[in-house]
Structure 1
């Protein structure tokens, strides 16, 4: 069975921009393979689940194919299945800009209507 290092695989499938970024993410504890913390040298095989914090989002992917060299975006997309849960919908917050003065009658009614819907 074929395997490769996790830092190399993250870079090859374009989840990180550079291989040192992937290694740094592993050292920082932002990468887990099968729910275990991963070092840059941790090997991955098809079927493994990889959870990586990329930027401000956490990506959950399943390894389908192991590659060691960086490939085009279309080819890279065939190497994993994205199992990342959808983010929860953002709830608007009734807030006025600081220093905007007193709310007008219309704005006050809209705020009251919005707050009554939230309760």
Structure 2
């Protein structure tokens, strides 16, 4: 079975075309070397897939006849991704600066709502005599 089809069958990619593009860009390695989309996969092959800044490592156990359900994926591949890969991705998420710097472009929707709430609260007099 082709490696792009295999990765689609075991649900690493949502579409086969995305799997093909990942192979063309060099995000997929088969037994330590870059794999073209048409490279054949055999049982006991080691595959490394770079997806979402994580290097997933898996071992091919068997070749599925076609795309399998999520519960059956474990019959066809063994995920050997070390926990350190997920930990480094979690640290990367914490290190990102999600909020824009002051004066950098238009206010976001949340910023505008905060400004409107502030203006509405300050515009209403505390002791209104009517």
TM over 0.5: yes
Alpha carbons of 1:62 and 1:82: their partners in 2 closer, same or farther (altered >3 Å)?
A: same
**1:9 touches 1:68 (CA, 8 Å); kept in 2?**
no
1:69-106 deviation line (CA, Å, top 9, x unaligned) = 1110011222111110112464988xxx988xxxxxxx
1:20 match: 17
**1:29 touches 1:37 (CA, 8 Å); kept in 2?**
yes
Query: Taking structure 2 as the reference length, what is the TM-score of the superposition?
Result: 0.64
**CA RMSD of superposed structures (Å):** 2.1
Paired residues, what number?
A: 93
What runs of 5+ residues in structure 2 fail to find an aligned partner? 103-130
Structure with greater strand share of residues:
1
Say if 2:50 is the partner of 1:53: yes
Structure with greater helix share of residues:
2
Query: Taking structure 1 as the reference length, what is the TM-score of the superposition?
Result: 0.70
**Greater RCO structure (CA 8 Å; 6+ sep):** 1
Distance 2:51 2:12 in 1: 7
Moved over 6 A (4+): none
**1:50 touches 1:60 (CA, 8 Å); kept in 2?**
yes
